Chain A
């Protein structure tokens, strides 16, 4: 199994500069893919998820072209070859 996770530039400081991570571990959902990343890059997932494991309010995650907010959230399923994209939301001040 291989899932790609595209990391925004602002977070590559926590990935040793890598913009696209590859998850080889078996995972059925976005949450499981992020958990697999957390085992080696916990500082990255700290920025994406709260202490309670919830997606931060101003972070969007896509599977393919669809936001998981309009699917099943972190329980959205992923299949072999999927691409997960982490994107800062359009917000600020």
Chain B
């Protein structure tokens, strides 16, 4: 169980779990053993935090938080000392141009760029747009080709709004990356963001008369592994899929899961065949199936899935986990973490075999990101 608000500077090898909730951000920290945790926060009390990141490239230790005040709007806040102090431009740096007619609602994703572009950071926002920073998050500019995309007028907001929530990079190709929008689907660029094409062939849209449109899917999350960037895993609004060709085609991999509905999806940090999900019963009843809180893991790229339950409540559980509520650290064995809408934060220090509770009464958890201090 946590102790509160000890905020000493972490050492190399320590693990930080950055937690965004509907009422602020928290930072859980532990040494590499990951047996005991300290909890610091809330940062930005009263503000909802849907995106967090820790950028450790180029000698930085920069925490980035997308904080949303219901009254005063959204902004990205920065800390270079693990949350002891926060800076960030006084002006709201993520701004839609006047010509777009749009205004920022929420920052849904913050993704540091590739290691060889250490000052580049991306963020995905609502209304759906991608912004890029070339100065490590100080200033931002929209990616125009998505802002003015010919499909935009036909993108429809999902339950969380029309949000660009997922950003994945090709570790081998600086011109290629992918994004996912609810509800528009998965789009890919092969020319550094100048053009974007939908890549949803085989992904079902159960709520449309044509269930296999070119775009319009409600993709909830897409992940890939840097050692095999062309292989993508996708958690859909109904449907689990894998692509082995950067989204050119998708295959159903819902083999043995209690439901293929869900939001959260996390790649194992070291094994490109291992992925974690938290199945949800249905779109109409968004709780875990059979009142059992289970993380499911595949270790064969989706040919089979196994439930991970030891230490998780297996009766009378009505939890749900949002799309960014599941994360992994980069230790070996990997630490896996997730937060629930009822404010519980769970941790496994052995890749999911056993689970403990870091915190059990946080505000509803929107996002969780785990990092090992000193690991770029």
Chain B contact-residue range equals: 10 to 19
Question: Is B102 engaged at the interface, CB distance under 8 Å to the other chain?
Answer: yes
Q: Judge whether A73 is part of the interface by a CB distance below 8 angstroms.
A: no
CB-defined contacts of B98 to chain A, threshold 8 Å: 51-53
Residues 80-113 of B contacting A (Cβ, < 8 Å): 90-92, 95-98, 101-104
Minimum CB–CB distance for A14 against chain B, Å: 6
Contact between B101 and A58, CB atoms less than 8 A apart? no
Q: What residues on B are CB-neighbors of A52 within 8 Å?
A: 96, 98, 101-103
Known A-B contacts A51-B104, A52-B101; the reply to A43 vs B73 at CB < 8 A is no
In the complex, how many residue pairs between chain A and chain B have their CB atoms under 8 Å apart? Answer: 52
Whether the Cβ atoms of A10 and B71 lie closer than 8 Å is: yes
Least distance between B85 CB and chain A CB atoms (Å): 14
Is A54 interfacial (CB 8 A cutoff)? yes
Does A58 contact B95, Cβ atoms closer than 8 Å? no
- In the complex, chain B residues whose CB is within 8 Å of the CB of A14: 90
Q: How large is the interface on A (under 10, 10 to 19, 20 to 34, 35 or more residues)?
A: 20 to 34
Of the residues B72, B73, B91, B101, contact of A42 by C-beta under 8 Å: B91
- Residue of chain B at shortest CB distance from A13: B90
Q: A52-B98, A52-B101, A52-B102 are in contact. Are A43 and B91 (CB under 8 A)?
A: yes
Q: Which 6 pairs show the lowest CB-CB distances between chains A and B?
A: A43-B90, A50-B103, A47-B72, A88-B71, A46-B92, A58-B71
Q: Which B residues lie at the A interface, using CB under 8 A?
A: 22, 46, 69-73, 90-92, 95-98, 101-104
5 A-B pairs whose Cβ atoms sit less than 8 Å apart in the complex: A10-B72, A11-B72, A43-B90, A47-B72, A56-B73
